[in-house]
Structure 1
Amino acid sequence: MALLAGLATTGLAACSGRRAAPSGLLRVAIANQPDSLDPAIGQFAASALLYKQLFMPLADYGNDLRLAPGLAERWETPDNGRTWRFFLRDDLRWSDGRMLTADDVVWSVQRFLDPATAGGELGDFFAVENALSVLAGDAPVSALGINAPSANIVEFRLNQRLGLFPLLMREFYPFPRHIIETHGNDWVRPEHFVGSGPFTLAGRGALSFDLVRNDYAIRPASVPAVRVDVVDEPSTRVRMFRAGEFDLVEQPPAMQIASLRERLGAQIQSFPAPKFTYLKINLRRPPLDQVALRRAMSVAIDRRFLAEQILGGTAIPTESVMRRGIISNAGVDLARTYLEQAGLTGANQPRIVLRTTSGERERLAIAIADDWNRAGIETELLATAPVDLYSAVDGGDFDTALSHFDRGLKTDPNFLMEPFTQGGFADDSGWFDRPSSETERYNLAIDGARSEVAEDVRTRLYANAEAILLTRQIIIPLLHEQAHWLISERVSGLTNGVQPQLWRGLNVGGA
């Protein structure tokens, strides 16, 4: 704490009015407040970003974002994906110096799936033997298909082949059992916190987090400390960056990227990212249950206009989930043809409500609504706060909704399909409510993809599933967006083409 206090003691430069840059302190501004620092609970992207600093996952992201060793130095499957054994590194330690063992990993999985404590994203463990029975309260956590044959081996037994299981373990962060059993839910308070990542939690305020280097980490951070501030207004984040108050700033205003490049030059950087913008469609509501209408809605949208004119060329228009730049741009005339063939004109003209969040995304929705109205689809725009939109979608109270998600560092395009699987976090169309030959073939393709250890076969099967999803126009893909960061000249150690979400390898001036 004394180190952090010394680093954070700054003043304003006397003449320039800019905040003095403290030596050795990386200053980061994020857009949203994490919902929890407990990986069993938190689900927000902001939480996931902090987990990457405070914990070491079982498997990890390499500098090129491909699969790399984490707590486990290697893994194997003796039966082509049904059983997975992870071999932990020697001499693993928590940030308080206590040994980190395979028993900690087993207990962490049990805590994830115990119905008394489960609360976060559990999909990565649904394939573990007896996981669903444990979650339902029909079996004890001891029945889970996980055990520790030795102090450094963790074995998972799955109820089906799962070839991508090690990839999923890049987001699984084991917990410090000895701390949680002592302090309960208060274990994430700074005075109790223990982790395994390159940093540990030294302090927090209402909208800030202070991290210091964990010298027990596998790969201790290059910088001694990080200050993270939550600044929800994009323009405020930009102003504070320009005033010299931050070294890293995420999510500058998407609509201002082009102008920011003119003003900031190399200090604004864009990165390929699994960020996907699309339209949800509620198939439970006529006439949206008609595929002809959904196709008309899709072809009517001028995606190039959205990408180039509204987002300033920082996004790639697409009619695909997994592939960038796949677009026909058929236009309004073909949309009208689809509507006429389906008898959706005149007195039967479709009337729909397009929901969106107010603010930046609203401009995209306005352009889409204009395209639909010109095609003969009477569209009302409803812009609300994000929480109201999420609540409406979760409750099925929507016709269509402009949506987007960010898969973080999961750059493999296959991970863009996972949200649209049955039970996935973007499964809200109602398509699976009425099982059909299409939903059966889709689920078979998804199950086959998940089972495959071979990446090329897995990708082909995901592509087969995507073709079914898009042939039925269950969603309307729009854009593949980039991730944008403001990065000060003080920061070094960046990996070319990889957005700075792993702070362990970064350096700042004077560090």
Structure 2
Amino acid sequence: MKMSRFALMGFVTAFMLLLGGCFSGETESKPDSSGGEKSGEEQSDGKKVLNLNNNEEPGSLHPGTAQGTHDSWILEHAFEGLTKKTPEGEIVDGMAKDWEVSDDGITWTFNLKDDVKWSNGDPVTAHDFEYAWKHVLNPETASEYAYQMYYLAGGEEYNSSENKDEYADLEEKVGVKALDDHTLEVKLAEPTPYFLDLTSFYTYYPVNKKVQEENPKWAQEADSYVSNGAFKLTEWNHKESMKLEKNENYYDKDKINLDEVNFVIIDNADTAWQMYQADELDLVYPLPPDVQGELSSKDDPEFEIAPDLAVYYYNLNNEVKPFNNVKVRKALSMGIDRKTLVEHVSQGGQQPAYGVIPGGIPDAEGDFQENSGDLFKEDAEEAKKLLKEGLAEEGMDKMPEFTITYNTDENHKKIAEAIQEMWRKNLDVQVTLENVEFQVKLDREKAGDYDISRAGWVGDYVDPMTFMDLWVTNGSFNDANWSNKEYDKNVKFAKSSMDEKKRMEALHKAEEILMDEMPIVPIYFYTKPFTVKPHVKGVFTPINRYPQFIYADIEK
């Protein structure tokens, strides 16, 4: 999923003080030395409240149109799919009590639980799932994640159609159908080994059909928001704060300990960290880079570094000279010292990336990344040579000045500044830096209005395909505007083959092609460094999700 990370908007002190008074969590409301109220324990009314930060205003809280981690953190707690994941990463029953799959891997039948309800009391039905999935695929929805539904028979044909007259017929042919209120039949275009994992992903969440049809804007405000997960959205002060409350209609409510979860929307990591130190927040993610380094060196018990299924990289706009030249692209990649970046700039235990597939994904045998090894090397001298050759092929004597665009955030800024200096020193090129709001960056990338842009991707499911299908020709998130037929061929084969060894071989080949062409520059593999107060128990960190608090508890 598209990574937002925090984009500096500059919160003022007055707002911090206001928040300090809004998010209380003590048994008694005792002011701290800064004039705010401390968080953490049960409130005087007995409620268990968790206070934390979200680094961006959600772009969309509709499962069909959400695309960023700042969206998904809310959605993963307010909604639930056919399946869900345990703290151990096991896929278990969610809205579905069980399921069957045909011998050929094409037809899946999901049987919903009898007692599942929406937050407004309506029953969750198989019709809600059929409606939601087809809504994602409807071309008029313009969902960036519609391609995740291409696994359904007829899904790509419907979503790709430009003829409105045929929409109804194409929708009817999509491979998802409610046989009755409790039975959902799914027909895939081809066998998909990781389909069950996808059913726990937010694009596959249901939507209340009645609510959507009566109010298409239901997901834009808290008072009209209807969800089916452990929590419900009850307050949304846009660009300021959000509140989730325990959903009493959730079938598994007895396992939910928290009564409220308060999100402060803060895109300045330093501000969030200060609020944590003042006991105004119970959990903070992400953290400022220098704080990560300091806490790591102290072995602080409140500091955790969890693994992440994510890669930090730079898009190179392959349609802009001289980034259209593979030698220029390779030179830029080879001119970066990744070890210095992770040890002295990001300082969160990240690993240098010499490919795009993070560790933690099973191969046919062993770990996919370990089997891949390093797919390129850093070499300043060779980079100079390649840059000169590439520029000559484009009729240029010197690299023109270009710009790195990143969404506002201190960590992105420091990384960009370090790479700017590395390229100046190693390649004698001049780079300017530009910071913009996250949504502006996304819009500029889609429009091809950039030279180099910072990007990040968290795997939507635990399979190499969640990264490899990003850069297929005309892919929704192929912001580098790159195309390679052999790459596309290998990805297509791996999407449908049920021979695990052969499909993994195809994915390895695709990654090798990608790194040989270098349309994007991998920088490092993310970790999840965060702090959590000792009285907060039960937070867990799936490899491809933000810290999860669905089963968290507050202890006195």
Shorter-normalised TM range = 0.7 to 0.9
Is 1:202 the counterpart of 2:237 in the alignment? no
- CA offsets 1:389-415 (integer angstroms, 9 cap, x no match): 4443322233333322334x6454442
What is the SS of the residue equivalent to 1:266? coil
Is 1:380 the counterpart of 2:426 in the alignment? no
Contact conserved, 1:10 with 1:20, CA < 8 A, in 2? no
What is the letter of the counterpart of residue 166 of structure 1?
L
- CA offsets 1:253-299 (integer angstroms, 9 cap, x no match): 13431124457812121111122111212222333333222222222
Contact conserved, 1:366 with 1:381, CA < 8 A, in 2? no
1:216 is matched with 249
1:163 is matched with 193
Contact conserved, 1:175 with 1:195, CA < 8 A, in 2? yes
Cα deviation, residue 347, structure 1:
6.6
2:381 is matched with 333
1:414–1:40: structure 2 CA closer, same or farther, 3 Å change rule? closer
Aligned match of 2:529 in 481, 484, 502?
A: 484
Is 1:41 the counterpart of 2:41 in the alignment? no
Cα deviation, residue 155, structure 1:
1.5
Aligned match of 1:88 in 112, 115, 124?
A: 112
1:284 is matched with 319
Question: 1:173-212 counterparts in 2 under 5 A?
Answer: 173-186=205-218, 189-206=221-238, 207-212=240-245
1:123 is matched with 147
Contact conserved, 1:353 with 1:398, CA < 8 A, in 2? no
Contact conserved, 1:349 with 1:377, CA < 8 A, in 2? no
Is 1:509 the counterpart of 2:536 in the alignment? no
- CA offsets 1:180-239 (integer angstroms, 9 cap, x no match): 334442366444433210111223323222222123324322212212221221111001
Q: 1:118, 1:347 → 2: CA distance? A: 40
1:323–1:146: structure 2 CA closer, same or farther, 3 Å change rule? closer
1:406–1:496: structure 2 CA closer, same or farther, 3 Å change rule? closer
Contact conserved, 1:269 with 1:486, CA < 8 A, in 2? yes
- CA offsets 1:77-128 (integer angstroms, 9 cap, x no match): 3253333322323332223333222122112222223344454521211232
1:11 is matched with 29
Contact conserved, 1:52 with 1:501, CA < 8 A, in 2? no
Cα deviation, residue 144, structure 1:
2.3
Q: 2:92, 2:499 → 1: CA distance? A: 17
1:187–1:9: structure 2 CA closer, same or farther, 3 Å change rule? farther
Contact conserved, 2:67 with 2:144, CA < 8 A, in 1? yes
1:401 is matched with 453
Q: 1:424, 1:148 → 2: CA distance? A: 30
Q: 1:165, 1:367 → 2: CA distance? A: 40
Q: 1:6, 1:19 → 2: CA distance? A: 6
1:400–1:210: structure 2 CA closer, same or farther, 3 Å change rule? closer
1:228 is matched with 263
1:494 is matched with 539
What is the SS of the residue equivalent to 1:403? strand
Gaps of 5+ in 2: 1-21, 43-47, 360-369
What is the letter of the counterpart of residue 12 of structure 1?
K
Aligned match of 2:276 in 224, 241, 245?
A: 241
Identity, % of aligned pairs? 21
Superposed CA RMSD:
3.1
User: In terms of mean alpha carbon deviation, does 42-51 or 135-144 score higher?
Assistant: 135-144
Q: 1:210, 1:473 → 2: CA distance? A: 43
1:435 is matched with none
Q: 1:282, 1:253 → 2: CA distance? A: 29
Question: 1:357-506 counterparts in 2 under 5 A?
Answer: 357=406, 358=408, 359-386=410-437, 387-407=439-459, 410-432=461-483, 439-453=484-498, 457-495=502-540, 501-506=547-552
1:381–1:236: structure 2 CA closer, same or farther, 3 Å change rule? same
Aligned match of 2:38 in 20, 33, 42?
A: 20
Cα deviation, residue 492, structure 1:
0.6
1:5–1:178: structure 2 CA closer, same or farther, 3 Å change rule? farther
Q: 1:373, 1:390 → 2: CA distance? A: 27
1:75–1:466: structure 2 CA closer, same or farther, 3 Å change rule? farther
Q: 1:370, 1:191 → 2: CA distance? A: 49
Q: 2:348, 2:235 → 1: CA distance? A: 40
Q: 1:187, 1:343 → 2: CA distance? A: 49
1:479–1:54: structure 2 CA closer, same or farther, 3 Å change rule? same
Q: 1:380, 1:6 → 2: CA distance? A: 46
Contact conserved, 2:296 with 2:303, CA < 8 A, in 1? yes
Q: 1:65, 1:379 → 2: CA distance? A: 45
1:355 is matched with 404
1:452–1:26: structure 2 CA closer, same or farther, 3 Å change rule? farther
Cα deviation, residue 494, structure 1:
3.1
1:451–1:74: structure 2 CA closer, same or farther, 3 Å change rule? farther
What is the SS of the residue equivalent to 1:139? helix
**TM score, norm. by length of structure 2:** 0.81
2:331 is matched with 296
1:254 is matched with 289
- CA offsets 1:340-387 (integer angstroms, 9 cap, x no match): 555749972333514132543122223223333334452322323145
User: In terms of mean alpha carbon deviation, does 173-182 or 486-495 score higher?
Assistant: 173-182
User: In terms of mean alpha carbon deviation, does 223-232 or 84-93 score higher?
Assistant: 84-93
1:214–1:373: structure 2 CA closer, same or farther, 3 Å change rule? same
What is the SS of the residue equivalent to 1:378? coil
Q: 2:122, 2:451 → 1: CA distance? A: 53
Q: 1:8, 1:179 → 2: CA distance? A: 37
Q: 1:8, 1:457 → 2: CA distance? A: 57
How many residue pairs end up in the alignment? Answer: 500
Q: 2:458, 2:506 → 1: CA distance? A: 22
Q: 1:315, 1:400 → 2: CA distance? A: 22
Aligned match of 1:113 in 127, 134, 137?
A: 137
Cα deviation, residue 54, structure 1:
0.7
Gaps of 5+ in 1: 433-438
